[in-house]
């Protein structure tokens, strides 16, 4: 706090000390410094003044001056000055020590909780008592006669003075330190109510002090209650300050119920206790109300925060594609998301743990799972389970595979239950792919091993014949031709495997493709122009490289799968099937597809005529994949001419 303000407060101190120097009391001069004691305490508090400081010097000088004006002789002046300064330093020191969080005492909290009051009041009371003791003892030394009553009065006045001035100073100072817009001084009340409460206070005090023969002090508390409950703490403290000053001033000037008491010093003491009572009552009411309101605001904020957190949590778990549920050891589902129900093909509402458990009772290899092996049950006993694969029976009766992780959650202390978080995802497609890959690898290994074994066998025989010197040119030719045939088969398989792998990976580069022209090229490459006839086909939007692969496979099969001695005849034609697609037919006069095989020949490695025709069983799988990547379909049916088959596929038309 700037020095200017300190000087101002020192001026106030002098002013107060002089204003009330007129008391009709016959007690020593130090009793008159009221409410200057409170002003000094506030000044030292806000400035955090130290014993050796300009503030102490200023206060001491002011006290000496005032005491001189009041006519105290030098020894008494010394006692009063030391008492004033010491008590002020002590009060400020105690407050800063005992209420460090309070605004003005080193902290930034307002005086807004009743539990702060005892420390606050005790600090002021202890300082006032110390001052009274020091002053009384000093005066007794100087005058030679101890005046206990004067000491008690001094204690009361300084305490009351400190209570009303320091309280007002702290609550007002805190309010002024708040950023604008500051909270309303009226609190919940209106200006009209403030005027009414002020008029009520004036009327009540007027009555009580005018008719001092009647004990009308008790209704005065009504005014304090009104201000304490309805207006801000600042206004309440200002009210206590005003009525305190009025009460003490009137009592000192001989007006009112306290002055009517026979002994003026006893009357003055009663007035002091009355003022202390109203200050503390007013403060207790307003701080109690502030604390309740702060708690209510905090509660509302906590509730809003909780609602917000719940909404976030629901949004997060609701948007997850993984299934999630939280289970407790009674088998109750505490939380679950929509995906949990969807993965099981069940309705979201009314989902139960029992239902999920009965639908997921087997490991992925079909082995039944015991209750204790269940990932969720294990997590409830404290064990974390990661990526366990389970079979599930979906709501529509189909089977699926899920990967489950279950994690133990902290125990629900409130209800004494263990809880577990279970997360799972549908890996049916992934699992099927994995199985497919395993089969694929198995077949590839098998199909490569066969020709290799043949090569081994024939070369071994060749070596044996050579050793036995029985190798003839005809035999050599025979062996070499067998080895060549096996190696051809391996080549073909490897080529088809590569084609199969790339048919799914390669990025589509679509453009206008003339199917008839491609068929012509394929036929020419196979030297089969005479066996393949092609009619014009509307242009299609496709990847030319992949299309060539499709036609090469289909035309190649049509030329290959013919009965011995039959001259193959392949016809390719096409037309617009609808506004978007073109249908292409590849018809042959071959051996046809056995009934029941029409679908299966499109699967990897499936061969309908294994014995007499070479092949890998991959060609049609490649064809179907490429057509599907072009959003088309392919089917096969018997040739309506009665012999052979017709492969019919669709492709997007090029416009």
Residues forming contacts to ligand ADP in the complex (CB under 6 A) are 553, 557-558, 561, 588, 590-593, 601, 607-609, 615-621, 645
**Dihedral in degrees, nearest 10, Cα atoms 615, 619, 621, 623:** -170
Nearer to ligand ADP, 233 or 571 (CB): 571
Provide, rounded to whole angstroms, the least separation between the CB of residue 393 and ligand ADP.
34
Provide, rounded to whole angstroms, the least separation between the CB of residue 578 and ligand ADP.
26
Nearer to ligand ADP, 123 or 618 (CB): 618
CB 43 within 8 A of CB 58: no
- How much of the chain is in helix, strand and coil states, percent to nearest 5? 60, 15, 30
Closest residue by Cα to residue 240 from 153, 162, 301, 342? 162
Cα 216 from Cα 210, distance rounded (Å): 10
Indicate the length of the chain as a whole number: 655
Nearer to ligand ADP, 162 or 591 (CB): 591
Provide, rounded to whole angstroms, the least separation between the CB of residue 572 and ligand ADP.
13
**Dihedral in degrees, nearest 10, Cα atoms 307, 312, 313, 318:** 120
Beta strands in 427-577 (DSSP E): 511-513, 532-534, 540-542, 570-576
Provide, rounded to whole angstroms, the least separation between the CB of residue 510 and ligand ADP.
24
Other C-beta atoms closer than 10 Å to the C-beta of 549 total 19
Nearer to ligand ADP, 531 or 553 (CB): 553
> Which DSSP state fits 109?
B
C-alpha radius of gyration, the chain, whole number: 52
Cα 630 from Cα 626, distance rounded (Å): 7
Other C-beta atoms closer than 10 Å to the C-beta of 570 total 24
Nearer to ligand ADP, 49 or 620 (CB): 620
Cα 348 from Cα 140, distance rounded (Å): 90
Provide, rounded to whole angstroms, the least separation between the CB of residue 620 and ligand ADP.
3
Provide, rounded to whole angstroms, the least separation between the CB of residue 390 and ligand ADP.
35
- Across the beta sheet with 532-534, the strand order is 532-534, 570-576, 581-587, 645-652, 634-638
End-to-end CA separation in angstroms for the chain = 86
CB 323 within 8 A of CB 343: yes
Nearer to ligand ADP, 223 or 593 (CB): 593
Nearer to ligand ADP, 131 or 590 (CB): 590
Nearer to ligand ADP, 268 or 553 (CB): 553
Cα 272 from Cα 248, distance rounded (Å): 7
Cα 524 from Cα 364, distance rounded (Å): 51
Provide, rounded to whole angstroms, the least separation between the CB of residue 636 and ligand ADP.
8
Between strands 634-638 and 645-652, the pairing is antiparallel
Buried b (16+ CB within 10 A) or exposed e, 200-212: ebeebbeebbeeb
Nearer to ligand ADP, 232 or 503 (CB): 503
CB 499 within 8 A of CB 618: yes
Provide, rounded to whole angstroms, the least separation between the CB of residue 592 and ligand ADP.
6
Nearer to ligand ADP, 138 or 619 (CB): 619
Provide, rounded to whole angstroms, the least separation between the CB of residue 593 and ligand ADP.
5
Nearer to ligand ADP, 217 or 621 (CB): 621
Nearer to ligand ADP, 422 or 593 (CB): 593
CB 151 within 8 A of CB 99: no
Give me the residue label for tokens 């299609």. Answer: 540
Cα 172 from Cα 178, distance rounded (Å): 10
Between strands 570-576 and 532-534, the pairing is parallel
Provide, rounded to whole angstroms, the least separation between the CB of residue 455 and ligand ADP.
20
Provide, rounded to whole angstroms, the least separation between the CB of residue 618 and ligand ADP.
6
Provide, rounded to whole angstroms, the least separation between the CB of residue 613 and ligand ADP.
7
CB 384 within 8 A of CB 421: no
Provide, rounded to whole angstroms, the least separation between the CB of residue 621 and ligand ADP.
6
Nearer to ligand ADP, 233 or 645 (CB): 645
């Amino acid at each position: 706090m700037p020095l200017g303000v300190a000087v101002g407060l020192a001026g106030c101190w002098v002013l107060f000390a002089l204003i009330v120097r007129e008391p009709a009391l016959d007690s020593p001069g130090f009793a008159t410094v009221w409410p200057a004691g409170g002003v000094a305490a506030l000044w030292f508090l806000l400035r955090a003044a130290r014993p050796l400081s300009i503030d102490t010097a200023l206060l001491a000088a002011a006290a000496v001056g005032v005491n001189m004006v009041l006519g105290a002789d030098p020894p008494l002046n010394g006692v009063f000055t030391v008492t004033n300064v010491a008590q002020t330093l002590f009060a400020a020191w105690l407050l800063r020590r005992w209420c460090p969080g309070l605004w003005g005492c080193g902290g930034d909290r307002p005086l807004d909780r009743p539990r702060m009051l005892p420390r606050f009041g005790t600090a002021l009371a202890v300082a006032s008592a110390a001052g009274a003791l020091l002053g009384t003892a000093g005066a007794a030394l100087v005058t030679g006669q101890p005046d206990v009553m004067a000491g008690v009065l001094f204690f009361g006045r300084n305490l009351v003075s400190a209570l009303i001035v320091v309280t007002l100073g702290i609550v007002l100072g805190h309010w002024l330190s708040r950023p604008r817009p500051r909270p309303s001084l009226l609190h919940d009340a209106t200006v009209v109510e403030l005027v009414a409460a002020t008029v009520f206070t004036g009327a009540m005090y007027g009555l009580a002090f005018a008719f001092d023969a009647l004990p009308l002090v008790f209704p005065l508390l009504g005014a304090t209650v009104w201000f304490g409950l309805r207006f801000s703490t600042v206004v309440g403290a200002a009210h206590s300050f005003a009525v305190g000053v009025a009460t003490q001033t009137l009592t000192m000037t001989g007006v009112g119920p306290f002055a009517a008491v026979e002994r003026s010093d006893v009357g003055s003491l009663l007035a002091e206790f009355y003022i202390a009572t109203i200050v503390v009552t007013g403060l207790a009411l307003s701080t109690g109300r502030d604390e309740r309101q702060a708690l209510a605001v905090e509660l509302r904020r906590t509730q809003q925060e909780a609602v917000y957190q719940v909404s976030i949590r629901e949004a997060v778990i609701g948007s997850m594609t993984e299934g999630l549920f939280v289970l407790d050891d009674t088998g109750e589902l505490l939380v679950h998301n929509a995906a949990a129900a969807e993965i099981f093909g069940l309705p979201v509402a009314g989902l139960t743990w029992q239902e999920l458990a009965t639908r997921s009772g087997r490991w992925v290899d079909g082995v039944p799972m015991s209750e204790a092996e269940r990932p969720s049950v294990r997590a409830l006993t404290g064990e974390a389970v990661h990526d366990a694969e389970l079979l599930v029976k979906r709501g529509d009766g189909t089977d699926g595979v899920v990967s489950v992780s279950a994690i133990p959650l902290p125990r629900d202390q409130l209800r004494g239950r263990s809880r577990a978080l279970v997360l799972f995802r549908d890996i049916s497609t992934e699992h099927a792919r994995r199985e497919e890959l395993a089969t694929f690898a198995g077949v590839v290994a098998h199909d490569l091993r066969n020709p290799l074994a043949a090569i081994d066998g024939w070369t071994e025989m060749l070596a044996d014949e050579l050793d036995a010197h029985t190798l003839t040119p005809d035999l050599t030719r025979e062996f070499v031709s067998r080895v060549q045939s096996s190696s051809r088969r391996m080549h073909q398989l490897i080529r088809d495997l590569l084609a199969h792998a790339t048919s799914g990976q390669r990025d589509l580069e679509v453009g206008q493709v003339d199917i008839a022209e491609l068929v012509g090229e394929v036929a020419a490459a196979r030297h089969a122009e005479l066996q393949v006839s092609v009619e014009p086909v509307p242009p299609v939007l496709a990847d030319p490289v992949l299309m060539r692969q499709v036609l090469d496979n289909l035309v190649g099969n049509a030329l290959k799968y013919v009965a011995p001695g039959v001259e193959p005849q392949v016809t390719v034609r096409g037309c617009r099937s609808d506004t978007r697609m073109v249908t292409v037919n590849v018809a042959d006069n071959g051996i046809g597809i056995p009934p029941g095989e029409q679908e299966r020949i499109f699967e990897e490695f499936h061969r309908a005529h294994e014995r007499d025709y070479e092949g890998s069983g991959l060609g049609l799988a490649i064809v179907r994949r490429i057509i599907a990547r072009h959003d088309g379909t392919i089917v096969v049916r018997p040739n309506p001419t009665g012999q052979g088959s017709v492969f019919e596929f669709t492709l997007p038309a090029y416009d």
